[in-house]
């Protein structure tokens, strides 16, 4: 049984997102081939290089919600509420609703075990919570495959996530740590901020699958190995060495900037090229 929440740390309520950090990545979407700051391995890098945005057009992918480790990053209002046992007044669970895709996560606070490995995986996964001081710490397993970055860098279904939800007055900081033995060489940490917004209106998120492009059944858009023509645009447009855009654990750390000074950059195009 989880310890009861103190009023000053209970994250329940309505929260609006703040996009001051990572606007480019979160809202318009990341550039193709931008793997900067991601502790990815070679396999994840090739997945990104092969990724064709047309994949999202496929009917089976159009309304796919973001998984719970990524969903905080979306353009989402957030509603958090408690489920309380009537007799004991203990918190059984927290529930979250994000406006993007109407994603809902349940965080069990009653100490129940995670399901066996052969149980189904979902976008939200199976989550349990506990208190670490004032922070609600969520452990999520049984996730479906999803994104690390929304340009084809994957997070596998074997990953787990540890999420710290921290309330500071009217601000909520959500720190997500992803552990992925398939695609990451180090844990990947990312924070997202919300502001308490009691007047928030939660809109529905209807999504209807349509045939956007007439293509043969079973066709899967992708770039063949070594044949993605767009990978140079990001480093050229921003004057970043191509080597650095390939990501890897060392690109997460400040010292990497020193190393970048000795790297070659591509000539900048006369006009910024955007392929969005």
The reply to whether 203 sits near another protein by the rule CB under 8 A is: no
Q: Which is nearer to another protein, 207 or 273 (CB)?
A: 207
The reply to whether 27 sits near another protein by the rule CB under 8 A is: no
End-to-end CA distance of the chain: 48
Give dist(CA 217, CA 203) in Å, integer: 34
The reply to whether 243 sits near another protein by the rule CB under 8 A is: no
CB atoms within 10 A of CB 275: 10
The reply to whether 75 sits near another protein by the rule CB under 8 A is: no
Give dist(CA 139, CA 177) in Å, integer: 10
Pick from 9, 12, 41, 197: which binds another protein (CB under 8 A)? 41
Q: Which is nearer to another protein, 14 or 180 (CB)?
A: 180
Contact 163, 176 (CB under 8 A): yes
Closest of 100, 31, 90 to residue 240, by C-alpha = 31
Stretch that binds another protein, among 3-11, 35-43, 171-179, 189-197 (CB under 8 A): 35-43
Looking at the chain, how many residues does it have?
A: 276
Q: Which residues pair with 15 in a beta bridge?
A: 78, 196
Q: Which residues contact 119 (CB under 8 A, 6 or more apart)?
A: 126, 142
The reply to whether 185 sits near another protein by the rule CB under 8 A is: no
CB of 149 to another protein, least distance (A): 15
Give dist(CA 254, CA 251) in Å, integer: 8
The reply to whether 145 sits near another protein by the rule CB under 8 A is: yes
Give dist(CA 53, CA 174) in Å, integer: 28
Closest of 135, 100, 99 to residue 10, by C-alpha = 135
CB atoms within 10 A of CB 160: 18
CB of 51 to another protein, least distance (A): 10
Q: Which is nearer to another protein, 7 or 120 (CB)?
A: 120
The reply to whether 56 sits near another protein by the rule CB under 8 A is: no
Pick from 1, 27, 56, 63: which binds another protein (CB under 8 A)? 63
Stretch that binds another protein, among 15-23, 150-158, 192-200, 262-270 (CB under 8 A): 150-158
The reply to whether 186 sits near another protein by the rule CB under 8 A is: no
Pick from 79, 121, 164, 259: which binds another protein (CB under 8 A)? 121
The residues of the shown chain that bind another protein, judged by CB under 8 A, are 41-47, 50, 55, 60-65, 101-102, 116-123, 144-145, 156-158, 181-183, 204-209, 217-220, 222, 224-225
């Amino acid at each position: 049984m989880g310890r009861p929440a103190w009023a000053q740390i209970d994250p329940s309520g309505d929260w609006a997102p703040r996009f001051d950090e990572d606007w480019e990545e979160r809202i318009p979407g990341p550039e193709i081939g931008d793997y900067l700051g991601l502790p990815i391995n070679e396999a994840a890098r090739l997945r990104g290089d092969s990724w064709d945005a047309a994949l999202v057009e496929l009917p089976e992918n159009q309304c796919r919600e973001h998984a719970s480790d990524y969903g905080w990053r979306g353009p989402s209002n957030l509603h958090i509420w408690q489920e309380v046992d009537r007799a004991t007044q203990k918190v059984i669970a927290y529930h979250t609703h994000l406006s993007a895709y109407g994603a809902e996560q349940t965080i069990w606070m009653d100490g129940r075990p995670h399901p066996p490995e052969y149980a189904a995986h979902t976008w939200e996964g199976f989550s349990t919570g506990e208190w670490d001081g004032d922070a609600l710490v969520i452990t999520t397993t049984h996730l479906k495959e999803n994104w690390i970055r929304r340009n084809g860098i994957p997070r596998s279904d074997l990953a787990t996530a540890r999420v710290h939800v921290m309330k500071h007055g009217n601000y909520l900081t959500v720190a997500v740590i992803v552990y992925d033995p398939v695609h990451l060489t180090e844990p990947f940490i990312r924070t997202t901020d919300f502001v308490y917004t009691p007047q928030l209106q939660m809109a529905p998120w209807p999504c209807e699958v349509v045939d956007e492009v007439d293509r043969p059944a079973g066709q899967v858009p992708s770039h063949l190995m070594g044949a993605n023509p767009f990978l140079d645009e990001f480093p050229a447009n921003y004057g970043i060495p191509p080597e650095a855009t390939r990501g890897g654990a060392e690109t997460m750390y400040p010292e990497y900037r020193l190393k970048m000074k000795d790297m070659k950059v591509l000539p900048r195009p006369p006009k910024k090229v955007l392929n969005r």
